[in-house]
Amino acid sequence: MNTRVSFALTIALLLVVQATTSIVRAQPSPEQKKLDYFVGKWKADLDIKATATTAALKASGTEDCESFANLHVVCRSELTGGTGLYKAMRTFSYVPALKQYSSYTVDSLGYAVLTLGTVQGDTWTFTTEAGGYKTRTTMKTTKDGYTAAAEYAGPDGKWTPSSTSKFTRMK
């Protein structure tokens, strides 16, 4: 009986080893590799424009971005301004089925926003539409940082600046 148990255990062990060695890890596509640009620690400066319902606001802080599963980039930011501490987390991904990038952001104000975008050279553009408004964020990258300009358009279709940001890579 010991021979049968030993044989069964040996077969089971071989099956487990074979199953674990045959797991294939997803390899990043060229589009996903473009996201590596955002990995690192950034100094962030934010300038929110005044609107009919809100005052202008400036905030600064840091954003830490890391690769997740070698396919996505997850960023956590903390900025301090006139209204106190602001926290946000965003995930950048490439969605092959849509042939677009995505940015999903949640923050300490209770907002959750999913945008889709494209990249052309050094310019990333993300857009979404909700509640009758369109939003667009255009990010221009350089070797040591990037700037982001956010805009919104109401039913009239006219784009209005809502904020600008400057991110500088920290050494």
Q: What is the CATH number of the domain that holds 51?
A: 2.40.128.20
Nearest to 115 by CA among 123, 163, 106: 106
User: What's the domain range around 139?
Assistant: 28-169
Predicted local confidence at residue 24, as pLDDT: 60
Q: Per the domain annotation, does 74 fall within a domain?
A: yes
Q: How many domains does the chain have?
A: 1
pTM for the model: 0.82
Q: Which pLDDT band, with edges at 50, 70 and 90, does 9 fall under?
A: very low
Mean pLDDT (the chain) is 87
> With contact defined as beta carbons under 8 Å apart, do 144 and 163 qualify?
no
Instruction: Tell me, yes or no, whether 110 lies in a domain.
Output: yes
Instruction: Say yes or no to pLDDT of 17 above 90.
Output: no
Q: Would the pLDDT of 18 be above 80?
A: no
**What number is the average pLDDT over the span 99-103?**
98
Residue 51 lies in a domain: yes
Q: Is there a domain that residue 121 lies in?
A: yes
Instruction: Record the tokens describing residue 18, joined without a space.
Output: 């074979």
CB atoms within 10 A of CB 63: 21
* Residue 7 in domain: no
Assess whether pLDDT exceeds 70 at residue 33: yes
- Which residue blocks in the chain are alpha helix, DSSP H? 2-21, 30-33
Conformational region of residue 139, where left means phi above 0, alpha means psi within -120 to 50, and beta covers everything else: beta
